[in-house]
Structure 1
Amino acid sequence: MRCIICQQEVIRDVTWQTFLKPPERKKICNHCSHLLEPIYSPCCPSCHRPDQELTCKDCLQWFESHPGLLDRNVSVFKYNEFNKELVARWKYRGDYVLVEAFKEEIQKKWLSAGYQGRKVVQVPLSEQRLMERGFNQSDAIIKVLEEEPLAIFARTHGEKQSKRGKKDRMHALNPFTLQLSISEPVVIIDDIYTTGRTVRHMADLLKKQGCSSVSSFTIFR
């Protein structure tokens, strides 16, 4: 089998354990697996920023300016240069199968996050953006998690977040509208947590309509 990221042949490690009970076929090679860089401790307890012993500066600012909106974010991998290229291939060049490269680590992190039993909220795309990409990355992640998406938001079309600087993102108008209120705890699923503005736009609307708890889960931070 070839690695779905780099197309090099995947060489399986052979031990007595794997000889007696063959493992599931690996979808990525050891080299690419290493470059994905899963996030481990230490990390910010509020947003999962890697290599951060205590609550990071950005989260402290959020606590001061918008207290009580988002309980916490949990992310799987560092948003390094290798992963930026993967995101570009996945989201913007239509290489949908790449989500399989993240599957095992995503599922493991989801279980360890303790989010089971919460309603899982999809981050919508505008109709134009959905037509451009051919799929919604939030839905793709929710499918990997084997959860049922809750599509309760609509989104107006606007400039891509990736083209905005941090200051512009922080002061952007809320592009979402909440179409159905919910009181139960929810987890918003997205691909990347950068400034946290997107999930807090959504959390703000949810909290105003009586949602008891809002957290988020993303692949990259």
Structure 2
Amino acid sequence: MNKCLLCEEETNRILSWHQFFLLEDPPVICEKCRQSFEKIKGEGCRTCSRPLAALDSSFIIEGVCLDCVRWEEDPLYRGALVENRSLYVYNDAMKEVIARFKYRGDYVLAKLFAKDIRETAKQMTYDLVVAVPLSEERLYERRFNQAEALAEEAGLEITPVLERIHSEKQSKKSRVERLQAPQVFKIKEKSSFCHKKILILDDIYTTGSTLRQAAYLLKQAGAAEVSALTLARGQGT
């Protein structure tokens, strides 16, 4: 019997034929918990995946949200990030799971979204995957890098080309502080990604500043193109 990783109820009371013949892994969470997560559906911003249905038309320009338009108006970050694909809305259920996963060291929760991440990555064009790194201090505090955990459970090979400079937690910063934050990354190894398309993997897209700082550095160091895949799209922009 398999128990839901979230509520510990039985997950597979009725096995599908694929599961019965071991052609498909049994679910790791029950259907009730699965339905508490809200997948991003319908029209989203062509750059950052932000759902457009809830936005006033004045905040949308040719299928792109106003925040992404402003990013492209910044000469420093123009063209740095081709696109970000987020899978879920950062609703209350997702906030709780990410809090358990990220701040309470519940590594096994990376399994919840492995299939979704793997299938979405197959739809994207890239040469290598870069997980957003943690500083040494933050890694010691959390015990593992959540972005690396998501990649590993999804079967994505990681190329560690970035290092993170220790700073205050992003979650503690306001939107303005995030947007005005100094560069928090540095390059470890340039030769491994010159002229290649890079896919950055992270847990949450909020303002987009973290991904664009990373993308900017990678492009400056020779990457051909940078895109991103994130588990959830926050509504902080």
Calculate the TM-score normalised by the size of structure 1: 0.91
| Alignment partners' CA distance in 2, 1:172 and 1:5 | 35
Shift of 1:123: 1.3
Alpha carbons 2:52, 2:65 under 8 Å: kept: no
* Structure 1 residue 67 corresponds to structure 2 residue 81: no
* Structure 1 residue 192 corresponds to structure 2 residue 195: no
Alpha carbons 2:128, 2:198 under 8 Å: kept: yes
Alignment of 1:9-24 (within 5 A): 9-13=10-14, 24=25
* Structure 1 residue 30 corresponds to structure 2 residue 31: yes
Alpha carbons 2:132, 2:162 under 8 Å: kept: yes
* Structure 1 residue 111 corresponds to structure 2 residue 112: no
Alpha carbons 2:19, 2:26 under 8 Å: kept: no
Amino acid at match of 2:197: P
From 113, 129, 133, the equivalent of 1:102 is 113
Amino acid at match of 1:185: K
Q: 5+ unaligned residues in a row in structure 2: which ranges?
A: 54-59
Shift of 1:212: 1.1
* Structure 1 residue 171 corresponds to structure 2 residue 177: no
Show the counterpart of 2:144. Answer: 135
SS for the counterpart of 1:48 is coil
Amino acid at match of 2:109: L
Residue 216 to residue 11, structure 1, CA distance change in 2 (3 Å):
same
| Alignment partners' CA distance in 2, 1:135 and 1:142 | 12
- Aligned Cα root-mean-square deviation (Å): 1.9
Amino acid at match of 2:32: H
Deviation by residue 1:90-143 (Cα, 9 ceiling, x = unmatched):
01011111111112222222223x23x521112111111000100011211221
Deviation by residue 1:149-204 (Cα, 9 ceiling, x = unmatched):
11111111111001111111000001111122222110111111111100111111
| Alignment partners' CA distance in 1, 2:130 and 2:26 | 31
Aligned length: 218
| Alignment partners' CA distance in 1, 2:102 and 2:176 | 24
Residue 12 to residue 128, structure 1, CA distance change in 2 (3 Å):
same
Deviation by residue 1:9-44 (Cα, 9 ceiling, x = unmatched):
2244467x5697575311111111111112222211
From 64, 79, 83, the equivalent of 2:94 is 83
| Alignment partners' CA distance in 1, 2:12 and 2:142 | 33
From 104, 128, 136, the equivalent of 1:93 is 104
Q: 5+ unaligned residues in a row in structure 1: which ranges?
A: none
- Greater displacement, 46-55 / 183-192: 46-55
SS for the counterpart of 2:64 is coil
Alpha carbons 2:37, 2:89 under 8 Å: kept: yes
| Alignment partners' CA distance in 1, 2:195 and 2:19 | 50
Deviation by residue 1:42-97 (Cα, 9 ceiling, x = unmatched):
21111011244821111111111131110000111111111111111001011111
| Alignment partners' CA distance in 2, 1:28 and 1:214 | 33
Calculate the TM-score normalised by the size of structure 2: 0.85
| Alignment partners' CA distance in 1, 2:213 and 2:219 | 10
Residue 60 to residue 163, structure 1, CA distance change in 2 (3 Å):
same
| Alignment partners' CA distance in 1, 2:12 and 2:224 | 48
Amino acid at match of 1:216: A
* Structure 1 residue 46 corresponds to structure 2 residue 50: no
